[in-house]
Amino acid sequence: MIRQKWLPHTRAIFAAQKRCLSSPSSGFPRFAKNDESWGDLKEKLNSSLARASPGGILKPKPLTRTPLKGAMAEDLGSRQMLVLEGLPTSLVAADFHRLAPGTLAGWENVITHVHQERDPWTMEPLGTYCITFPSSGAAEIYRDRVERILRLAQAKMRDGTGLWATNVNPVLVNKKTKPQVEVERFTLLPGSYPSAPKIKTKRVRKMAWQQVMDRIVKKSSHKRNPNHVLLELPQASFSASELKAIIKQDGIESGHDWQMDVFSLRETMDFEKGFPTNTRRVPLYRSSPEFRHKLDSRFVLTCANPEVAWRFIRNWNQRILEYDGGDEVFQRNRVKASYIET
C-alpha cells in the first residue's frame, strides 16, 4: 500500500498500489587588450565591428531600430553561444541578464537564450551554461565582461581594508559604473573562485539532452509548445503508468486537472542510437547500480502549458510518499520536482 503524507500544514489525499585577484597580469588576458575604457554596450559593439572590418567600422544603414539593434544587425557573423563551465547548477537566466552595464533590459535585448546543459540520460544539471547571442561580437563582449567583473569580485574578496574599489587596477574599471555596483550585481561566481572560468565560443547547435526532449515530445500528446517537469523519486521505483495513475488520482481529489504525460528516463536508453559519441555525460558507468537507479527513479512530465507545470511543482515538490517495502515495513520517499528549461 502506498500512502502519501504531506509536509507540515498539508494533508494526505490519496492511496494507490505499490510500484533528484587581484593580479592584473595573471589570467584574463583578453579584456584589457580589447577595451581599456570599458564603455557601454553600444561602444563595445562598434569596437568589435571595427576589428571585424579592418578598413573601418561598418556604418549602419538607416533602419527603424534602436542603436543597439542596428549595431547588432551590422555584425555579419552567425549566431554564437558562449559555453561557461563549472558554475553553480542553481543559476537562472536572470543571473546572466544581470550583467547589463546599466539596466537589466540591456542584455535581455542581446541574449537570446540561456540553457544549462544536462546529462542526456539522467537529466542531471551539469553546471555548464550555453548562452546564445545573435552575433559573434555580442558573445565576445559578454565574455570579456564576465572575466573582468570576476576579477573585481576577486579583488574585493582579497582586500582586507574595505578600500578595494580605490585600489583596484584601473583597467578593470568601467568608467560609467562603480565597481561596487558591478560586483553587487554579479551572481555567476563568488569572489572566492580561484581562477578564470572556462569559457568557450561555439556555433549554436542543439544539445544532446535537448534532442532527447524532442523525442519525448514526439511520444507525448502535448506537442505544441509543451513545458517539462523533472520528477525524482529517490527511494522508490515506479513505472510510468503507475506514477501517471497516482498523479491522475491526485488531480481528481485535489481539484487540479493535471494535463500531462509521464515518461520514464529508463525509456531513453532506446534513444541512444543516433546521438553524437562525444555527448556530455555525468561520469557514471552505464552498468553501475547508481546509474540504473537514476534512470528508474526519474521521470519527465510533459505539460500542456507553463501554468500546469509550475502549479504541479508547487503542489508536488517535497511531498512525502510512504510505500510498502514488504514485511509490513513502510518506507518514506520525498518527491523532488523541478522545471526543465528547454
Confidence of residue 78 (pLDDT cuts 50, 70, 90): low
Does the pLDDT of residue 13 top 70, yes or no? no
Output the furthest CA–CA distance in the chain (Å, rounded).
Answer: 81
State the angle between helix axes of 41-52 and 136-158 in degrees (0 to 180), rounded to the nearest 10.
130
Closest among 176, 117, 166 to 145, alpha carbons compared: 176
Question: Average pLDDT, stretch 248-260?
Answer: 92
At 278 the pLDDT is: 54
Burial of 263 (0-12, 13-18, 19+ CB in 10 A): buried
Confidence of residue 219 (pLDDT cuts 50, 70, 90): very high
Confidence of residue 15 (pLDDT cuts 50, 70, 90): very low
Beta-ladder partners of 231 = 299, 337
Confidence of residue 35 (pLDDT cuts 50, 70, 90): very low
Does the pLDDT of residue 33 top 50, yes or no? no
Question: Average pLDDT, stretch 231-260?
Answer: 90
Beta-ladder partners of 322 = 3, 332
Q: Among the listed ranges 19-23, 192-196, 198-202, which one has the minimum average pLDDT value? A: 19-23
- pLDDT-above-70 percentage for the chain: 69
What's 79's DSSP letter? P
At 273 the pLDDT is: 63
Alpha helices in the chain, H assignment, sequence order: 31-34, 41-52, 67-74, 93-97, 104-108, 136-158, 164-167, 179-185, 208-219, 240-254, 289-297, 306-316
Confidence of residue 98 (pLDDT cuts 50, 70, 90): confident
Does the pLDDT of residue 27 top 50, yes or no? no
Confidence of residue 234 (pLDDT cuts 50, 70, 90): confident
Confidence of residue 76 (pLDDT cuts 50, 70, 90): very low
Cα torsion angle, 140, 142, 148, 154, sign: negative
Does the pLDDT of residue 257 top 80, yes or no? yes
Question: Average pLDDT, stretch 129-150?
Answer: 90
At 22 the pLDDT is: 34
Does the pLDDT of residue 329 top 90, yes or no? no
Beta-ladder partners of 261 = 302
Q: Among the listed ranges 109-123, 134-148, 189-203, which one has the minimum average pLDDT value? A: 189-203
Is residue 173 within 8 A of residue 157, CB to CB? The reply is: no
Q: Which domains does the chain have, with CATH numbers?
A: 31-203 (no CATH), 206-340 (3.30.70)
At 102 the pLDDT is: 55
Is residue 19 within 8 A of residue 28, CB to CB? The reply is: no
Q: Among the listed ranges 41-55, 107-121, 279-293, 313-327, which one has the minimum average pLDDT value? A: 41-55
